[in-house]
Amino acid sequence: MSNYENLKVWHRAVELAVSIYKLTEQNKSFQKDFGLKDQMRRASVSISSNISEGDELGTDKQAVRHFYISKGSSAELFTHLTISNKIGYLTDDENKYYLNECKGISAMLMNLIKSRYSD
């Protein structure tokens, strides 16, 4: 087992969550849409939280389960961002940046899962 603080994917996920918090705080559209704002924040925090939780549980099997949950949270955030763009809360450039972050984190998680998976 490795220490999650040494995982690049954990750092990238933390940075994404911080960025989502700032985005939803500064963008006036999100300030009035409490439900979407809350869901985006929860999904973004869940990505890094499940990486760290899984890594600390002591077995690769448990870690992999949590890494898959992180991938799911990344997909959830991807959907929230897509909706936010379609309803005019995000510009196309903002949306492209955040969607690429979700995709990149998801790919990194898949590589981590493959490296930890054992039958």
Alpha-carbon torsion angle 67, 95, 23, 87, nearest 10: -110
Q: What was the pLDDT predicted at 118?
A: 59
Mean pLDDT per block of 10 residues along the chain (119 residues) reads 87 98 96 96 98 92 96 98 98 98 98 83
Q: pLDDT digit string (tens) for 56-86?
A: 998 999 999 999 999 999 999 999 999 999 9
Domains (range + CATH), the chain: 4-116 (1.20.1440.60)
pLDDT value for 119: 47
Q: Is the dihedral of CA 65, 71, 72, 73 positive or negative?
A: positive
Model pTM? 0.94
CB 90 within 8 A of CB 84: yes
pLDDT at 2: 61
Give the model's pLDDT for residue 54: 94
